[in-house]
Structure 1
Amino acid sequence: MTRNRWDDLAASLPHHEGPVIVVDNGSTDGTPQRVRQSFPSVAVIELHRNLAAVARNVGVEAATTPYVAFADDDSWWEPGALARAAAILDAHPRLAVLAGRILVGDDGRADPVCEAMAASPLGTEADQPGPSVLGFVACGAVVRREAFLDAGGFDQVVGFPGEEEGLALDLADRGWGLAYVAHVVAHHHPSSSRSTSHARRVLETRNDLLTCLLHRPWPVVGRRFLDVWRAGSVGRAAVLRAIRRAPRALRHRRPTSPSVEMRRRRLDGLFPG
């Protein structure tokens, strides 16, 4: 998915293998037309408003392959990575999300999230190809289309960023597996237009709170909101924004099963929320 980042997209698209679908989130810089002109083999779905991460749902629904590899407009998969991913998914029919290793920037440093997934305290289930996880980074993930659609994809309450955990919990609740596989590699060269502002941090924290409200038991929700409120100006702003969206979240609240909640609690402290 992309929005108003043609320069990044033009640099990343030549790296992609196989059928590619670009879902444009209401760009105003002519991205859809530019893709059609410069990359005629790429399918373009042109949305007329920004659906945030839900745009990926549109792409998965349009795909005709059993597996879908996500990419942002500033990321791509290493040559041969998707063939390896497909073989792994073929061999592990309960695997819904293959979380690959993400190398960041020109120096190819490993994303810290991937290092944490490699050391997951959830261990490795007997029928899975790597450490079990309850979260992932979308631009480094390959999903089983059937499982993704069964779980409803990314939800509209959280939006973007931080949309991955809710989907991970939904998949785990349905009995699907999620695993980190280090030898399936994606590259991420973060766009210079990515914001690191106060507003971005507030949005990330708000979405973390909304995910908690959607999925975690009430005592956990209460503690999390209180901890974030006490954390400073970013936390207080995030709590206020989460409260404004709380009625919508409550209408869609779907607490995880006790067994999945027990697994999620093992991650508290590593991935707060």
Structure 2
Amino acid sequence: MNASAPAPRAQPAPRITVVVLSRNHVRQTVDTVARLTALPEAPRVIVADNGSGDATISLLGSLFPQVRIIQGLRDLGTAGFNRAIALVSTDYVACCDDSTWWAPGALARAVQLLDANPQVAVLNARVVGDDEREIHPGCLMLGATSPGADGLPGPALANYMAGACILRTRVFRAVGGYEERLAAGAAEELAALDVLSAGHSIVYCEQALAHRQPLTRWFTRAQHCALARNSAWVAWMRLPVRDALRATGHALAVFARQHSLGPAGFSLFRGAFWTLSRRRVVPPEVALLTRQVRRAERNVRTGIPAMAEKPDRSGQRAW
């Protein structure tokens, strides 16, 4: 060995880990993991499997021995992220599902933004199709209903997309992760309220670019009802009574439209004791934020431009 040859430069430890949530989509998962392991940021990759019955586990293990696989015994929905994030040793964790992957450089830029803005706990990605021209409708809604930036590195949000976000790991753990009983939807809605209540911010980040195929998916009648029911449960767990009543009325209207008012309504009220036993009302400014965003969502759906409210006299934003 040549003594004068320079020693190889040690690679810096990654600052971010990617967690992929998967269930019975072996081809999509393999393609997504292949893209993620080829990223220039070289993030650690963990696959959180939600009880797949296909060849996902065995094929991933043979193709990607460097990827850690957390195998679940059943479908926990969004809560499937919890066990994987509990093992993360990096400051930040980027979450995606098996149809979503991060663009080269997006994670590095997200780390820079989170380092520079310690008050931000969650970055919601800009999710696009293959050609980057078509944007996920959920991102369009989040951007259209934001009350503004106000010193943040992007539009402030009251919610985020669990399958396309970058989280500050310690904050996610501090709020307790995702609630397993909300497996059918709205688990991130509850987590977002807890993040905001703890004094952190959620931001829509254009530079955190993620791709998804297919860009959207259709919901079944049961999924529509379950999501509306869970959102009402979240409202009773965290929001003032007037907001919880409004969310309940919305859920009942969804049940009626889906011709499931009896069964879905019974399911909603059967969970009343559970939700009320976990009731912890958010601070007034968080409740105001959620009201303003809900109002903006209604305006967007009816074609009225969403407008941010003016600051109050104390200099604080009146969400």
Q: Is TM > 0.5 for Structure 1 vs Structure 2?
A: yes
1:144-163 CA deviation, whole Å, 9 max, x = no partner?
Answer: 00111111111123223232
1:175 correspondence with 2:202: no
Could you tell me which residue of structure 1 aligns to residue 116 of structure 2? Answer: 91
Decide which of 243, 246, 259 is 1:220's aligned counterpart: 243
Larger radius of gyration: 2
Q: CA deviation at 1:107?
A: 6.6
Could you tell me which residue of structure 1 aligns to residue 181 of structure 2? Answer: 157
1:185 correspondence with 2:209: yes
Cα distance in 2 between the residues matched to 1:43 and 1:268:
39
Cα distance in 2 between the residues matched to 1:269 and 1:240:
28
Contact conserved, 2:124 with 2:202, CA < 8 A, in 1?
A: yes
Decide which of 204, 209, 214 is 2:232's aligned counterpart: 209
1:8 correspondence with 2:28: yes
Could you tell me which residue of structure 2 aligns to residue 141 of structure 1? Answer: 165
Cα distance in 2 between the residues matched to 1:10 and 1:139:
17
1:106-147 CA deviation, whole Å, 9 max, x = no partner?
Answer: 674111222233234422132x21111011112221000011
Cα distance in 2 between the residues matched to 1:86 and 1:74:
22
- Scaled by the length of structure 1, the TM-score of the pair is 0.91
Which amino acid is 1:141 matched to? C
Could you tell me which residue of structure 2 aligns to residue 253 of structure 1? Answer: 279
Contact conserved, 2:46 with 2:69, CA < 8 A, in 1?
A: yes
Could you tell me which residue of structure 2 aligns to residue 242 of structure 1? Answer: 268
Cα distance in 2 between the residues matched to 1:11 and 1:191:
16
Secondary structure of the equivalent of 2:285? Answer: helix
Cα distance in 2 between the residues matched to 1:195 and 1:33:
29
- Scaled by the length of structure 2, the TM-score of the pair is 0.78
Cα distance in 2 between the residues matched to 1:255 and 1:197:
32
Contact conserved, 1:157 with 1:249, CA < 8 A, in 2?
A: no
Cα distance in 2 between the residues matched to 1:155 and 1:227:
22
Give ranges in structure 1 of 5+ residues lacking alignment: none
Q: CA deviation at 1:271?
A: 4.2
Could you tell me which residue of structure 2 aligns to residue 122 of structure 1? Answer: 147
Which amino acid is 1:94 matched to? Q
1:21 correspondence with 2:46: yes
Contact conserved, 1:118 with 1:182, CA < 8 A, in 2?
A: no
1:112 correspondence with 2:132: no
Note closer, same or farther for the CA distance 1:198–1:119 as it changes in structure 2 (3 Å cut): closer
Q: Percent identity?
A: 29
Cα distance in 1 between the residues matched to 2:218 and 2:138:
19
Secondary structure of the equivalent of 2:23? Answer: coil
Decide which of 292, 295, 308 is 1:266's aligned counterpart: 292
Cα distance in 2 between the residues matched to 1:261 and 1:173:
9
Cα distance in 2 between the residues matched to 1:21 and 1:221:
36
Note closer, same or farther for the CA distance 1:136–1:201 as it changes in structure 2 (3 Å cut): same
1:198 correspondence with 2:221: yes
Cα distance in 1 between the residues matched to 2:60 and 2:268:
36
Q: CA deviation at 1:105?
A: 5.7
Give ranges in structure 2 of 5+ residues lacking alignment: 1-20, 299-319
Note closer, same or farther for the CA distance 1:41–1:121 as it changes in structure 2 (3 Å cut): closer
Note closer, same or farther for the CA distance 1:105–1:246 as it changes in structure 2 (3 Å cut): farther
Decide which of 42, 47, 70 is 1:45's aligned counterpart: 70
Secondary structure of the equivalent of 1:267? Answer: helix
Contact conserved, 1:20 with 1:42, CA < 8 A, in 2?
A: yes
Which amino acid is 1:202 matched to? C
1:86-121 CA deviation, whole Å, 9 max, x = no partner?
Answer: 111111111100111111366741112222332344
Which shows bigger deviation, 112-121 or 91-100? 112-121
1:54 correspondence with 2:79: yes
Cα distance in 2 between the residues matched to 1:240 and 1:78:
44
Task: Kindly report the root-mean-square deviation, in angstroms, between the aligned alpha carbons of the 2 structures.
Answer: 2.1
Cα distance in 2 between the residues matched to 1:113 and 1:20:
25
Note closer, same or farther for the CA distance 1:40–1:121 as it changes in structure 2 (3 Å cut): closer
Which amino acid is 1:173 matched to? S
Cα distance in 2 between the residues matched to 1:62 and 1:55:
13
Aligned residue pairs total 270
Secondary structure of the equivalent of 1:76? Answer: strand
Secondary structure of the equivalent of 2:52? Answer: coil
Which amino acid is 1:255 matched to? V
Contact conserved, 2:79 with 2:187, CA < 8 A, in 1?
A: no
Cα distance in 2 between the residues matched to 1:99 and 1:178:
7
